[in-house]
Amino acid sequence: MTFVEQIRQRAADLKCRIVFPESDDERVLAAASEIERTGMGTVILVTDNARLAETSSRSGLHSVHAEDESPLEFAHRMVAKGEADACVAGAVYTTADVLRSALRNVGLSPGVRVASSAFYMVLPPGAHVNEVLTFTDCAVVPYPTAENLADIALAAAHDRQFIVGDEPRVALLSFSTHGSAAGPSVDLVREAVAIIRERAPNLAVDGELQGDAALAPTVAARKSPSSAVAGRANVLVFPSLDAGNIAYKLVQRVGGAQALGPILQGFARPVADLSRGAEREDIINVAAIAALQSAGRAEDRAS
């Protein structure tokens, strides 16, 4: 079973209520219908068009009419109140629209200061690294501070446990490995690592590490032989949005990886931001991941 098949099956077991505020988009309707058909979740469509709400209901999909307000705001409030488990938007709305509404209506998890994002990179067969790598942040925070990097790393590690199901091993990347080079960005990464270790002493984290030292055991043995993360990292934290965005697109286009995301992280309840180029399968995959995030947030609230 592939990773995508696994997350869809695990999402189906949760029976989450997933709200879509872009119900006039054909891609979203196709994805919503497939989610309902396969039992991956219960779909709630939000629309500001009363006739469309009635048509959707006749087709077997639950629909809500948001009168005199944005369907996006309405959908995020449903999630905030627990009337839906996750919101999936962004096929039509911009990332800025989604983030502003989510911050206003849902808010961040306790202790989190900045929202961020991750891509789950599913590597092709034969790749000599972990099958699924978390790349963060690739879509939201352009120039993170050390505190921002710590938030980004901790949010990515937290979500990976629920989405992938393994123990996160976090590498904060740089052009330097443990003092092999110097510069302001290297200092930034070192400071972030110190903050993470203070806030999450049991998390496997290391930095600063170059990409090869983070992923290749033979390189790690030479450059960082005592590290519990080097050569085995599965969460890669990039020092800037430039680095993260460039890296995920290169790994996707040149390396043949499947990029699932962007997945928003750090919010109190799951809110998703699709690429506006997303197709039906992309939307279904993001909905599955949002459902898994919902299970993780429920555990957080219970603890």
pLDDT band at residue 275 using 50, 70 and 90 as cut-offs = confident
Residue 59's pLDDT is what? 58
- Tokens representing 247 are 């890296």
Residue 49's pLDDT is what? 66
Q: What percent of the chain has pLDDT over 90?
A: 77
pLDDT band at residue 82 using 50, 70 and 90 as cut-offs = very high
**Integer angstrom CA distances of residue 165 from 7, 32, 58, 237, 296:** 10, 25, 38, 19, 11
pLDDT band at residue 303 using 50, 70 and 90 as cut-offs = low
Residues 27-66: pLDDT tens digits? 998 999 999 999 999 999 998 765 655 555 555 678 887 8
Distance, CA of 135 to CA of 231 (rounded, Å): 16
What count of other Cβ atoms lies within 10 Å of the Cβ of residue 273?
A: 28
Residues 234-268: pLDDT tens digits? 999 999 999 999 999 999 999 999 999 899 999 99
Distance, CA of 269 to CA of 282 (rounded, Å): 21
The residues with which 121 forms a beta bridge, in sequence order, are: 133, 259
Give yes or no for residue 170 having a pLDDT over 70. Answer: yes
Say if residue 116 is exposed, middle or buried (CB neighbours under 10 Å; 0-12, 13-18, 19+).
Answer: buried
pLDDT band at residue 182 using 50, 70 and 90 as cut-offs = confident
Q: Which carries the bigger pLDDT value, residue 288 or residue 302?
A: 288
Residues 103-132: pLDDT tens digits? 999 999 998 999 999 999 999 887 667 789
Report, as an integer, the average pLDDT of 90-106: 95
On whether the pTM is more than 0.85, the answer is: yes
Report, as an integer, the average pLDDT of 151-162: 96
Give yes or no for residue 180 having a pLDDT over 80. Answer: yes
Give yes or no for residue 286 having a pLDDT over 90. Answer: yes
For the chain, give the mean pLDDT. Answer: 91
- What's phi and psi for 116, nearest 5 deg? -150, -170
Residue 231's pLDDT is what? 93
Q: What percent of the chain has pLDDT over 70?
A: 94
